[in-house]
Amino acid sequence: MLAVFDTGTSFSMIPKTYWDAYTKLIISSFDLKDTQIQNGFFAFSCTERSKIGKLSFMFDSKWVEMDPIDLIFDASEAQDSSTCALAIVQN
């Protein structure tokens, strides 16, 4: 299934009530060791980028998978790939 995922912003938004559980699930599912919330983003060491697999979102009873290449960006101040983040924020 091909789909366009448009939130009207550059980032996907997770409702506040799900944010903590969602980020904890990402950490445990992909065995991430060095994570933090940085400027509202779920950030992690870019050395762990390859650990992150597809993320799934449910829309109207249908699951849509998103490739991590479409969600991960360099969030380091120096743009040196030391800190990466998911383009997912708490709403």
pLDDT tens profile 19-66: 999 999 999 999 999 999 888 889 999 999 999 999 988 888 989 888
Backbone φ, ψ for residue 4 (5° rounding): -105, 130
pTM here is 0.80
Q: How confident is the model at residue 3 (pLDDT cuts 50, 70, 90)?
A: low
On the 0-12 / 13-18 / 19+ scale of CB atoms within 10 A, 42 is buried
Asked if 91 contacts 22 with a C-beta cutoff of 8 angstroms, the reply is no
Closest CA to 13 of 52, 71, 67: 71
Calpha distance 91→74 (Å, rounded): 21
Q: How confident is the model at residue 9 (pLDDT cuts 50, 70, 90)?
A: confident
Calpha distance 49→40 (Å, rounded): 19
